[in-house]
Amino acid sequence: SQRSFQPNGASEEALRCEIEELKQKDLALDQEIAQLLSEGYSLEELDKHISLLHEYNEIKDAGQMLLGKLAVIRGVTTKQLYPEYDLELSD
């Protein structure tokens, strides 16, 4: 899909800013990984944790979607369903 028309200067500058932000995030992640490695974690452990976090987030997203659909059916907010299912708002 094509983005809405912007003058080349504006879109190029936006891309430069986005690239710089991504470079900064990459550097921060590299530093975080180096810190974890210095604390004795292995790359295999980190990969496993990342994989488990992805799986957790996918399951949580599915649960949130189901709660949202149930809330619509019942005509309540998702927040109102949390106590019924013994969920904390931070869950």
Alpha helices in the chain (DSSP H): 8-38, 43-74, 78-81
How far apart are the C-alpha atoms of 25 and 35, rounded to whole Å?
15
Q: What pTM was estimated for this model as a whole? A: 0.53
Domain count within the chain: 2
> Dihedral sign, CA of 61, 21, 43, 39?
negative
**In terms of residue numbers, what domain contains 65?**
42-90
pLDDT tens digits, 50-83: 999 999 999 999 999 999 999 999 999 999 999 9
The 10 Å CB-count burial string (b at 16+, else e) for 26-42 is: eeeeeeeeeeeeeeeee
Same domain, 72 and 57: yes
Same domain, 18 and 36: yes
Same domain, 46 and 86: yes
Same domain, 30 and 54: no
Residue 1, domain member (yes or no) = no
pLDDT tens digits, 30-58: 999 899 889 998 888 888 989 999 999 99
